[in-house]
Amino acid sequence: MAARTAQRWGKWLVSGPPLLYLVVFFAVPSLIMVLASFRTPGEFGGLAPLRDADGNLDLNLESYARFVTEPLYWEIFLKSFWYALLTTLICLVMAYPLAVLIARSDRKYRDLLLLLVILPFWSNFLIRVYAWMIILGPNAAFARAVNATLALFGIEPVSLLFSAFAVLVCLVYVHLPFMVLPLYANLEKHDQTLLDAAQDLGANAWQRFWRITFPLSLPGVYAGSALVFIPAFGIFAIPDILGGPNDSLIGNVIKQQFLETRDWPFGSVLSIVLTVCALAIAGIAAWVGQRGVRRLATGDA
């Protein structure tokens, strides 16, 4: 009995601190935000007192009503969704061959290659974003080469910086490692004999990839896509620094509501909608993926 009690205490001792951390720094703030979304904005920003002059509880749906009735915010949400989706797809297409290459390379080079993938994390995120300002700047070799090429076809020079292009390039750059790592972790575990067996049973290189490697890598594809899509959906720093005036994403709007307009209830509403959207999209993707796996499994694909 004593041993079992000790075991139970031990379990709490180990899982307690991280649990406490999540409650204090994730669950409680989320609840505060949900509560804030129902309150009235303060006269000079922030929140109005919870109880009005008559002592009644001041909770309402006005901020939600504003969100539903103003199409501008829907459009920004949709735009953010497309940016995040495009970022995820480009990351996937770029990361997959890289992950395969690392997973199939000689064991002694693998650690080095992985190190190269995570090397950018060693410098500050903002510095890396600012670096793109230089790379894409009008006087950099890259921009000059692009404009020289365009000139050959008689097209006016374009500004690469402060554009949707710059935002997208940097979104892909920043998130690429988050796609490579889960894909690598999955591909590295694949059993080479399965590919031998598929080849033995008549599958050519493309069929071996499409029927064996790819379906078995789907858990890695989902994990990587979620790790790229969700942060890309809510990002604000990259459009702030590299985007033009029309490249504001939902993350910028939320930041604006809290720090500049100081309409906390409306900022909370946008933030909640963003969270719910991200969760819903991740859920739908997982569900669709599961169905896809099952279809492949029964051999109907």
Partner 1 sequence: MALLEIANVTRRFGDFVAVDGVSLAIEAGEFFTLLGPSGCGKTTLLRMIAGFDLPDAGRILLDGEDLADRPPEARPVRTVFQSYALFPHMTVQGNVAFPLKMAKTPAAEAAVKIAEALADVRLTGFNNRFPNELSGGQRQRVAIARALVTHPTVLLLDEPLAALDAKLREEMQIELINMQKEVGITFVYVTHDQTEALALSHRIAVMNRGKVEQVDPPDQLYGYPKTRFVAEFIGTCNLLTGPVTDAAPGVVSVNVSDLGAVKVVAVPSHPRGSDAAIALRPEKVRLSAPGNAPHSDNRFAGVVTGFLYQGDVTVYMVRAAQGHAMEALLANSGSGLAKFFEVGDAVEMSWPADAGHFIPA
Closest approach of partner 1 to the CB of residue 218, in Å: 8
Question: CA separation (Å) from 28 to 60, 119, 168, 282?
Answer: 21, 34, 34, 23
Q: Distance (Å, rounded) from C-alpha 179 to C-alpha 158? A: 31
| Residue whose CB is less far from partner 1, 4 or 108 | 108
Q: Using an 8 Å Cβ cutoff, are 37 and 64 in contact?
A: yes
| Residue whose CB is less far from partner 1, 69 or 192 | 192
Q: Which amino acid is at 289?
A: G
Q: What share of the chain is helix, strand, coil (3-state, %, to 5)?
A: 75, 0, 20
| Residue whose CB is less far from partner 1, 85 or 293 | 293
Closest approach of partner 1 to the CB of residue 298, in Å: 6
Q: Distance (Å, rounded) from C-alpha 278 to C-alpha 270? A: 12
| Residue whose CB is less far from partner 1, 54 or 200 | 200
Looking up tokens 């402060």 gives 162
Question: CA separation (Å) from 170 to 73, 85, 126, 138, 210?
Answer: 24, 14, 11, 16, 30
Closest approach of partner 1 to the CB of residue 188, in Å: 16
The set of residues, in sequence order, having a beta carbon less than 8 Å from that of 138 and lying 6+ positions away, is 159, 160, 161
Closest approach of partner 1 to the CB of residue 203, in Å: 5
Chain residues that interact with partner 1, rule: CB under 8 A: 191, 193-194, 196-204, 207, 211-212, 215-216, 293, 296-299
Closest approach of partner 1 to the CB of residue 109, in Å: 20
Q: Using an 8 Å Cβ cutoff, are 38 and 61 in contact?
A: yes
| Residue whose CB is less far from partner 1, 100 or 270 | 100
| Residue whose CB is less far from partner 1, 133 or 198 | 198
Closest approach of partner 1 to the CB of residue 289, in Å: 12
